[in-house]
Amino acid sequence: MSGTTDIPPIDLDAPDVNADVLIVGGGLVGGTLACALAQHGISVAVIDSEDPEALVEEAYDGRSSAIAGACQRVLEGVGIWAHMDSGHQGPGGGVQPILNIRVTDTDSPLHLHYDSDSVGGPMGYMAENRTMRLGILARLDELKDKATLIAPARMADHGREADGVWAVLTDGRRIRAKLMVAADGRGSRVRDAAGIRLVSWPYHQSGIVMTVWHEKDHRGIAHERFLPGGPFAILPLPGGHHSSLVWTEKSRLADHIMDLDDDLFHAELASRFGDFLGEVKVVSKRFCYPLTLQFAPTYIDRRLVLVGDAAHGMHPVAGQGMNFGLRDVAALTERLVEAHRLGLDPGGADVLEAYQRWRRFDNLLMLGLTDGIVRLFSNDIAPLRLARTLGLAAVNKLPGLKTFFMRHAMGDIGRLPKLMQGTGL
């Protein structure tokens, strides 16, 4: 692996793929980055372990993402959104605008109400992860002159040297590039190989995620309830009668809930969900994720950049994981396109340092804010309960503060990359 040797084990003078940028991981963040760079004339090779064919055939697996306004502009700007927004609209396809967000505290009559009218346009969108993955695949196919998707594939070995990077796949194929991007998620192997150690702390909380069907139309309203065990979010999906649930509980309790049979699970769920949408049924598998806050102390190394969850992972309470991943994408794209148009090496240290300066501050700020919100709302101590009840009421009464929170949730705070402002590069 890199660091242990500077000499490629085999002849790399005639690689099978030669690109400006090698992206390891073709998920939502890596895939969007590939589209963004290829669209601006920077050649990319993307290695992904999942088989694209399987993704197309895959049944409705229940995982969805909230897409903040600024992220929607990125997806639109790089040509992915058009594929997500067209064709089948409804369960299993399309996008759902979030028209309204209602935040409530346990048993409290005071609540926070965000409404799309006060910001002009939807608060954000919900889409199944599968819809986004398919949109990325369709866009990569349109950009195939500049983008090479290598999937399913795994790296056997890789290295980063003064003049470039290389990778050898398990099937023997060889790739050369000027820059390597680690978009391989929380457990990033590329990051580990670079010796970048994560700073992390667990919350002893887990998020149970699933898709439900409900009798009444959700009318595009998202609900976030701060229950004693943690936030409980109901997020509207396309078609009107499906919603995505994010149910946070203390980890020990969450494990217990995951083990319940369908009837008992449903009873636990119904007691939290309520009956405002009529009858409710779970229609997907249940997923359970332990919540941890983690970040890499550095995002760059020689000819290496970390993006998305490989660089920072956060509690999903504010739905900011993908939001911040796409900010990385937009900022890195802007820096690399600038360098490309100056004829500069995309893996040059100055280019990478400029990216790191821009992103690290933003991400640490957001990690801190999200952490503060979670600690405030996941605690059942009486004075804190009072504080948050009053806090919610106060936020609702102060339009400036509310707009700040709203714009933050929509991903509009900080020095925004051009792609997030909806302007071209």
Partner 1 sequence: MAQAFATTANPDELAKFEAMADSWWDPVGKFKPLHKFNPARIAWVRDAAALHFNRDATTERPFEGLTLLDVGCGGGLLSEPFARLGFKVTGLDAAAKNIAVASLHAERNGLEIDYRCQLVEDLAQTSERFDVVMTMEVVEHVADVDLFLRAAAHLVTPGGMLVGATLNRTLKSLALAKIGAEYVLRWLPRGTHDWRKFVKPSEFAEALRAGGLRVEDLKGMSFDPLMDEWHLSDDLAVNYMLRAIKAE
Q: Which is nearer to partner 1, 14 or 381 (CB)?
A: 14
Q: How far apart are CA 77 and CA 69, in angstroms?
A: 12
Q: How far apart are CA 288 and CA 304, in angstroms?
A: 31
Yes or no: say if 243 and 211 are a contact pair by the CB < 8 Å rule. yes
Yes or no: say if 98 and 125 are a contact pair by the CB < 8 Å rule. yes
Which of 61, 215, 217, 350: binder of partner 1 (CB under 8 A)?
350
Q: Which is nearer to partner 1, 162 or 382 (CB)?
A: 162
Yes or no: say if 410 and 319 are a contact pair by the CB < 8 Å rule. no
Q: Which is nearer to partner 1, 120 or 343 (CB)?
A: 343
Q: Which is nearer to partner 1, 98 or 352 (CB)?
A: 352
Interface with partner 1, residue 52, by CB under 8 A: no
Interface with partner 1, residue 345, by CB under 8 A: yes
Residue 17 β-bridge partners: 175
Which of 109, 297, 343, 383: binder of partner 1 (CB under 8 A)?
343
- Interacting stretch for partner 1, rule CB under 8 A, among 1-9, 280-288, 340-348, 390-398? 340-348
Contacts of 15 (CB under 8 A, 6+ apart): 166, 174, 175, 176
Binding mask 253-292 for partner 1 (x = CB under 8 A): ----------------------------------------
Strands lying side by side in the sheet with 21-24:
147-150, 44-47, 21-24, 179-182, 304-306, 300-301
Residue 202 β-bridge partners: 292
Interface with partner 1, residue 7, by CB under 8 A: no
Q: Among 76, 81, 101, 96, which residue's Cα sits nearest to residue 421?
A: 76
Count of H-run helices and E-run strands, the chain:
13, 22
Nearest approach in angstroms of CB 348 to partner 1 is 7
Interface with partner 1, residue 162, by CB under 8 A: yes
- Interacting stretch for partner 1, rule CB under 8 A, among 52-60, 116-124, 338-346, 379-387? 338-346
Helix (H, G, I), strand (E, B) or coil at 301: strand
Q: Which is nearer to partner 1, 250 or 302 (CB)?
A: 302
Give, as one character, the DSSP assignment of residue 93.
B
Q: Which residues of 156-194 are buried (b: 16+ CB within 10 A; e: fewer)?
A: ebbbbeeebbbbbbeeeebbbbbbbbbbbbbebbbbebb
Nearest approach in angstroms of CB 350 to partner 1 is 6
Which of 7, 59, 342, 381: binder of partner 1 (CB under 8 A)?
342
Which of 348, 373, 394, 413: binder of partner 1 (CB under 8 A)?
348
Q: Which is nearer to partner 1, 66 or 339 (CB)?
A: 339
CA 88 to chain centre: 23
Which of 252, 341, 375, 397: binder of partner 1 (CB under 8 A)?
341
Interface with partner 1, residue 56, by CB under 8 A: no
Interface with partner 1, residue 344, by CB under 8 A: yes
DSSP codes of every residue in 107-124? T-S-EEEEEGGGTSS-SE
Which of 290, 338, 375, 386: binder of partner 1 (CB under 8 A)?
338
Which of 11, 163, 261, 263: binder of partner 1 (CB under 8 A)?
163
Residue whose entry in the numeric block shows the structure tokens 């900080």: 414
Q: Which is nearer to partner 1, 297 or 343 (CB)?
A: 343
Q: Could you count the other beta carbons within 10 Å of the beta carbon of residue 56?
A: 11
Q: Which is nearer to partner 1, 272 or 302 (CB)?
A: 302
For partner 1, the binding residues in 199-238 under the rule CB under 8 A are: none
- Applying CB under 8 A, the residues found at the interface with partner 1 are 41, 162-163, 338-339, 341-345, 348-350, 354, 357
